[in-house]
Amino acid sequence: MKIGKIIISIISVTVALCICFLIFATVTDFKPEEKITLSENNNPDTLKIGSQFSALIWNIGYCGLDSKMDFFYDGGKKVITPYKQFKINLQEITKTLSNYNSIDFIMLQEVDLDSKRSYNNNQFIKFDSVFNNYASKSFAYNYKVKYVPMPLYNPLGKTNSGLAFFSKYKYSQSIRIAFPGNYSWPTSIFMLDRCFMVNRIPVENGKQLLIINTHNSAYDDGTLKQQQMDFLKEFLETEYKKGNYIIIGGDWNQTPPNTKLNNAPKRGSLTSISPNYLTNWIWITDSTSPTNRYLDTEYNKQTSSTTIIDFFLVSPNIKPNLVKTLDYSFKYSDHNPVMVKFTLM
């Protein structure tokens, strides 16, 4: 009888603690407004029509998803890379970025500011030192949770991460726009708050170049992705009707239209974007190299599942001149960077 009371007491205390934790997580949940102004400049640069510009996208995997890592969300067992390897990843990713500091626009995803998984390192400040000659910079949170309790055996804990943008040119405005939809409660309070970042730079004909950094949903059943893509389409069409120039790039967590995958990942929710998504717009992708690997095991070039989910989309008034996936064999991140050169027509 006494043992039974002890067991009941333990269960009661456990339930009470879980309820208190859910209340705490709900109250402290990051609830960003639909539009947040990140930065403004009353004296921006003006771009010339006919000029060529360059851009680079890279999901750096918070410097914690190197080739030796698998990840529990993808069916692996590991949660956080060892500190020694993390330092190597951070050093090498920073070094790689420094090799491309002549590129006009740098768009990064999964940049951590203060997270357990990246040993509380501020990566935005670290990369800013590489791009200290750039005229503009912005950061937008898309993952801000006081404590992620999954997995129970080794929780992710505090997570602060988002999108980073560095520009050789002074923009007039940088804003964060929230994607619609989310998971149901309580899952939603521990997952990413997806968004895209819009950076506007004036063009000499009175229009604007919009450089958009995006990171779409990954682990949903496809419903959230569709809501996001519909919302994004309406935004892009509205801006293009104004005569603006638009280039959008990042980690779409979808393959571009008409992409044939030689070694497709095992994600059941990975879909391909419809070829009819935006008429006359141009998808810019390098089909010669994968941009992402599946994290169910350590990376093996012969057996690991790979795909293309990092790419660009440009409006019809932009001419793409070159696209190249910079293949680093996923040594320090589960994504490869992609570079593009384009001209305003």
Distance CA 74, CA 267 (A): 8
The H or E element containing residue 234 is helix 223-241
Sheet holding 318-325, edge to edge: 136-148, 157-167, 105-112, 52-59, 338-344, 318-325
Query: What is the structure's pLDDT at 269?
Result: 56
| Assigned token pair, 327 | 């293949």
Helices of type H across 163-222: none
- pLDDT tens-place string over residues 158-206: 999 999 999 999 999 999 999 997 776 877 787 788 999 999 999 999 9
Per-residue b/e over 194-214, b at no fewer than 16 CB within 10 Å? bbbbbbbbbbeeebbbbbbbb
Q: What is the average pLDDT across 251-275?
A: 76
Query: What is the structure's pLDDT at 186?
Result: 77
Distance CA 246, CA 138 (A): 18
**Which of the two residues, 23 and 252, has the higher pLDDT score?**
252
DSSP 8-state code for residue 285: -
Query: What is the structure's pLDDT at 29?
Result: 75
Say if residues 291 and 302 touch (Cβ distance below 8 Å): no
Per-residue b/e over 115-125, b at no fewer than 16 CB within 10 Å? bbbbbebebbe
DSSP 8-state code for residue 132: T
Distance CA 40, CA 203 (A): 16
**Which of the two residues, 295 and 30, has the higher pLDDT score?**
295
Query: What is the structure's pLDDT at 187?
Result: 75
Q: What is the average pLDDT across 11-26?
A: 75
Binning pLDDT at 50, 70 and 90, where does residue 27 land?
A: confident
| Assigned token pair, 172 | 């007039």
Q: What percent of the chain has pLDDT over 90?
A: 77
According to DSSP, the β-strands at 52-59 and 105-112 are parallel
Q: Which of 248, 234, 224, 258 minimizes the C-alpha distance to 318?
A: 248
Say if residues 305 and 266 touch (Cβ distance below 8 Å): yes
Q: What percent of the chain has pLDDT over 70?
A: 95
- pLDDT tens-place string over residues 277-322: 999 999 999 999 999 999 999 999 999 999 999 999 999 999 999 9
Q: What is the average pLDDT across 323-334?
A: 97
Q: What is the average pLDDT across 236-245?
A: 98
The pLDDT of residue 326 is above 60: yes
Contacts of 223 (CB under 8 A, 6+ apart): 181
Query: What is the structure's pLDDT at 12?
Result: 72
Q: Highest mean pLDDT: which of 94-108, 188-202, 216-230?
A: 94-108
According to DSSP, the β-strands at 245-251 and 208-215 are parallel
Say if residues 345 and 204 touch (Cβ distance below 8 Å): no
Distance CA 269, CA 250 (A): 18
Query: What is the structure's pLDDT at 31?
Result: 84
Distance CA 303, CA 301 (A): 6
CATH architecture group of domain 33-344:
4-Layer Sandwich (3.60)
Query: What is the structure's pLDDT at 1?
Result: 58
Query: How remote is the C-alpha of 264 from its chain's centroid?
Result: 20
Contacts of 297 (CB under 8 A, 6+ apart): 70, 76, 303, 304
Query: What is the structure's pLDDT at 266?
Result: 55
Q: What is the average pLDDT across 81-108?
A: 97
Distance CA 264, CA 253 (A): 13
**What is the phi/psi pair of residue 138, to 5°?**
-150, 155
The pLDDT of residue 47 is above 80: yes
The pLDDT of residue 24 is above 90: no
The H or E element containing residue 306 is strand 306-307
Q: What is the average pLDDT across 15-21?
A: 77
Distance CA 153, CA 149 (A): 9
Rg value, the chain, Cα: 21
Say if residues 310 and 251 touch (Cβ distance below 8 Å): yes
Q: What is the pTM of this model?
A: 0.94
Distances in Å between the Cα of 108 and the Cα atoms of 123, 140, 224, 313 are 11, 11, 22, 16
